[in-house]
Amino acid sequence: MSTSSTAVDELMDVLVAGGLISAEGVRGCTGDEVARMLATNPSVDPPQEYIDFLRRPGRGAGRVLRGTSIFYPESLEAHDGAIELAEVDVPDFRVRDRFFIGHHQGDIHHFFEKDDPRPWAYVEGKDRSVVESDSMSGLLRMDVESLRERERAARDRRRS
């Protein structure tokens, strides 16, 4: 178990201890990789909890957030993808003062607003962006709950 006490570390430790993910599945970024990600938009500082995310599960967390290009190195393309979205498909989509962290299958773009610790999402075809959670660890917790619910539903289907 980790000796660190960040909210992201604590969540990863609980998931590993509970058997939802394996310790080997939690792969963090190196210091250089964190720096490369932060350099994708140096005009916006993401919240510390996002940096904690990069350091602990930034390269992967087993089944958590599977299908979402939020893990390094895919996340390096998030800012350029947002610029392309604004230039090609959604001219009103604002890129300035946002730090993009990934996307889900190209339809949902995840980001932080400048000076706001909450992760936001823009869903293509919607009128506005929405707050996804109160924090990065909150976003992870939401995905874990969804994963647990899918597992419960699968168990129930097997029983019937």
Residue 1: what pLDDT? 47
CA 69 to chain centre: 8
Q: At 68, which amino acid appears?
A: T
- Taken in order 107, 112, 113, 119, the sign of the CA dihedral is positive
Q: What is the pLDDT of residue 3?
A: 53
- Phi first, then psi: what are they for 120, rounded to 5°? -115, 165
Count, residues in the chain? 160
Helices (H), 23-94: 31-38, 48-55, 78-84
> pLDDT value at position 7?
95
Which class is domain 7-159? alpha beta
For 6, 36, 63, 100, 124, the CA distances from 83, given in Å and listed in that order, are 32, 18, 29, 10, 14
Q: pTM higher than 0.85, yes or no?
A: yes
Note the pLDDT tens digit of each residue in 92-133. 999 999 999 999 988 999 999 999 999 999 999 898 999 999
Sites in the chain below the pLDDT cut of 50 = 1-2
